[in-house]
Amino acid sequence: MDKSNTITLQLDKDKVSKMKSFYVENIVPTRSEFVNFAMKNNNLSITVYNSNKAVFQGKDAEYESTIWAGENLSQIWKYDKDQIGSDEVGTGDYFGPICVCAAYIQKKDIKWLTDLGVNDSKKITDNKIIEMAPKLIKRIPYSQISLSNEKYNNLVEIGYNQAKIKAMLHNQVLYNLQKKIKNDKVLTVVDQFLTERKYFSYLEGNDNVVRNIHFETKAESKYPSVAAASIIARYSFLVKMNALSESLGATIPKGAGHEVDNFASDIANKHGFEKLNGYVKLHFVNTKKLNLIEEKED
């Protein structure tokens, strides 16, 4: 068995008893007083300690641990008091807007949020986002902005880079939300995408700059506010992408890969290159890779 493939999960009591009955046929005896139970089959061994820590080993460790982590009853947040967090979506996608959201999470909402299955939106399927986000939006104070492709391309044309655009959008949603909840003292976290110094340098000259921000990378897995914000932002992005797809009568592919190049080339060839201004981020290298059919005179 490949011992290098080891994954450790912190579970809760309910999950552990579920696991124990699930693997009942594969349970093996153990002599350690710290071990609750251990199981073993050809491709997997699991040791569950009395502390509810589970160690998965072997070829199937990754897959099998995702199943148990998936229900996520025991998401552990780094900070579990009142907080604002912001995150953005769409920055790596050639098609579609950039959506930025800030969410306000109070201590009393965190259990509800965790039970709902809120964690990093990148780990949640689109269908699940569409199911969860309306529940969040109904209960949680938030502020959200989607920047259309047309506006985005205009900003790039007058010299803004994407980081500056993101900084301005984050600042705007944070400002709006602090005003909405009438509290600018609460911990405010931004999922970090650049240095603090750079962030504020992009906001120079702006009248309403939100200061005292805590920047942290991977904040969506540590702060429930950032996780909620990333889900709402992702939801807005999906809704906007659906509308764009409908207007083209074809499903727009996400990301910035080969499929996207082909799709964009088709749009340009069918409707003219100018059409793309309302759909893509023109400064992406994808624009140079378009396969445009020259118009022939006959």
Site of interaction with Mg ion (CB under 5 A): 87, 191
Q: How far is the CB of 99 from Mg ion (least distance, A)?
A: 11
Q: How far is the CB of 191 from Mg ion (least distance, A)?
A: 4
Q: Cα separation of 241 and 244, whole Å?
A: 5
Instruction: Residue 179: count other Cβ atoms within 10 Å of its Cβ.
Output: 13
Q: Considering beta carbons, is residue 216 or 266 the nearer one to Mg ion?
A: 216
At a CB cut-off of 8 Å and minimum separation 6, what does 230 contact? 87, 89, 101, 120, 121, 122, 191, 220
Determine the residue type at 163. A
- Provide the token pair at 2: 């490949």
- Cα 119–Cα 229–Cα 199 angle in degrees, nearest 5: 115
Q: Considering beta carbons, is residue 223 or 279 the nearer one to Mg ion?
A: 223
Q: How far is the CB of 130 from Mg ion (least distance, A)?
A: 20
Instruction: Tell me if 281 sits within 8 A of 252, measured CB to CB.
Output: no
Residue 213: name the closest of 229, 189, 197, 192 by CA. 189
Determine the residue type at 234. R
Instruction: Tell me if 224 sits within 8 A of 118, measured CB to CB.
Output: yes
Q: Cα separation of 102 and 177, whole Å?
A: 7
Q: Considering beta carbons, is residue 19 or 101 the nearer one to Mg ion?
A: 101
Residue nearest to Mg ion (CB): 191
Q: Considering beta carbons, is residue 54 or 219 the nearer one to Mg ion?
A: 219
DSSP H helical ranges for 120-161: 126-139, 149-157
Q: Considering beta carbons, is residue 60 or 191 the nearer one to Mg ion?
A: 191
Residue with tokens 């965790």: 114
Q: How far is the CB of 165 from Mg ion (least distance, A)?
A: 14
Q: How far is the CB of 295 from Mg ion (least distance, A)?
A: 41
Q: How far is the CB of 87 from Mg ion (least distance, A)?
A: 4
Q: Considering beta carbons, is residue 82 or 87 the nearer one to Mg ion?
A: 87
